[in-house]
Structures are given as C-alpha cells and as structure tokens.
Structure 1
Amino acid sequence: MPAPKVWVTGLTVGAIAVVAALAVQADKGPRPTATARPSASASASGGGQPSPTASAPAAVPDASGTGRRIVYSLGLRRVWLVDESDAARRTFAVWPGTVAPDPGSYSVVSRRDATTGSDGVAIENIVYFATKSGLNIAFSNAVDGSSPPPASGTQTGGIRMRKADGSAVWTFGSTGTTVVVVN
C-alpha cells in the first residue's frame, strides 16, 4: 500500500489539474456585459425602498427651485447635485435617519470632517443643513461604508449615503449651498 504522502500528493496534483482545466474553460466562455439602467418609471414602480444601488431617475424633481443646489426627495429617498444650469450632475439613493427635515429650502450651515453619529457609527463628510426635534439634520457617510438601520427607539437625523456619494456631497455642499427638501 502506498504511503499517505503519495496519496496526498496525487490528490493535490489531480485537484490542480481540474482547477486549471476549469479556468481555461471559463476564460473561453461568455463575458458579462453592462446593461442599460431601467428608466425612472421602472425604478419608481419597483416598489419597496430604493437602495443606494437602485437606478437613478434622470429628472430633478419639479418645484425644487433653480440654480446650484442639493435636492433631497423624502419620498424617493434620493439626492441630486444640481449645477447652475439646472442640470443634475449626480444623483443617488440614500438611507434616511428616523427624523426627516420638513420640505422647504435650507442652506448648508456647517460641515465637519468626521465624528460619531447619534447611532454610534463613525461617520465622515458631514454636511449640516437643518435641525428638527432637537437633532441636527445632515448628509454623511459611514467611515466603513456600511448603512445599518438605526437602533430601535433611537432618533437620528443623519441622511446616510455610500462613501463615494458622501465625498461628492462634501465637495459640492460648501457652507451656504442651498438644500431643497421635497416630498
């Protein structure tokens, strides 16, 4: 009977050969291709809550003002960064906190590089624009990129987004920038 080392060596060589053969086959197979994003109506009719990976509606909401501004839709849970010509330069879904700002026009009042959110999560790119129920309302992203739901019973005013979107809001939303909140 062969020694155990011979068996292990034989099995290892066989496994490597199988993996190599599968890798060659996979390399010859079809490649994934990018698909077009669904239209705004497809995203809106999908039901449920939009996620930060959901497709973006193209149009800035009606009655959101004019000129350079940040537009936040409570119902769509989405933000638009709008330039001076009223063109959306970026739009993305967000995770709102438990306390929402009232619809209306605000201005960025202050900014903070990093801190800990009221939910205990380390956050960065904090852009404050309103207060409600004693809480500061601000756009931010979690340092680790996560977006955990707020703890039950905890009031939070943070409007969280993916890390890249938080960086874009930080760059766009200097002090004094208009923020328009729509339903």
Structure 2
Amino acid sequence: MRLLTRLRALVADDWPVWRALRLAALADAPHAFGSPLADWQGPGDTVRRWRARLETVAVNIVADLDGQPAGMISGDRTGVDTVELMSLWVAPAARGRGVGDLLVAAVVAWAEQAGADKAMLRVHPSNHHAILLYQRSGFTRTSGADTVPDDDRPEWVMQRPLAARRIRPGGQ
C-alpha cells in the first residue's frame, strides 16, 4: 500500500535528516547545486554546521514518501518582498510521483503567508526536469544565463508573483 506524501518543516534538532538528504542530493546531482559534495564532507561535516544551516535559513521542508525522507527544499527571504527557493532535491525513487510539486508548493505557500510579493530561484539551464517543474509551478525565466559568484557555471533566474496574505495590525 502506498502511503501519502507527508511534508514537515525541520528544526535544528532534525539535522541528521537534513544531512542525509543533502549528502545524497550532492552525490546524485552535483550539477544542480552551488556547492560540491566535498565541501560538506570531511572537515565540513560537523553537527554545528548542519544545525546552523537549519537555524539560518527560514524554512527547510522534507517530504516523506512511504515513511521515508524522499525530498527536500528550503526557502529564505532575500529582500523585503522576495523569497528564494533553494536546495530542492527529490530522491530518484520518488521522482515522477509529485514530490517536487508538493515541495515547491509548500515553500510558495510559506512565502505567501510570510507576506512576500514574489518568489525567485536560480537553476542551471541544463537542468531540464527542474525547469519543467518550476514552469508547472508558475515560475518564468527573468534573465539570461548569469554566472554566480563562487560558481563559474551559468544560471537562469526564474520568478513568480505571489498572492501575499499580509497580516494587518490588529489581526485584520
């Protein structure tokens, strides 16, 4: 029997889950991330660093499929009205089962609740599957292939407007 996908936001004490997924992601798809696997292994593989990653990025979500962690995504503010989606990865066994769509939707919902006007992300032009996922989720390309400091590979910037649910003073 197939269990439903369950999404959960992680806290610093969940660092072992984040660590396992992040290392798997960097090993599986090194081309999709800004940092190589080697940066997170050896001397870089410390509890303090993993906890700090979860404490300094606003939202970190894991998807459990059939009771096992199957994907991850993060979101963080990059300005007053903008949230950036980052670190999206879905385990090979969970691909094609809607996990990526659910993860993106979860960060978009968080961003709207937080009052952001737009969500943005960076993606390598060769990452066709991710681009299709982002397009399905309402993202459009806003720039040509730009290079990012510390990474000589070009990236596209994609964004989508959000229906921000601003909470007014007094709860109205």
Bigger RCO (CA 8 Å, 6+ sep)? 1
Identify the TM-score tier after normalising by the shorter chain: under 0.3
What TM-score results when the alignment is normalised by the length of structure 2? 0.25
Q: Which has the higher helix share?
A: 2
Pair member with larger Rg: 1
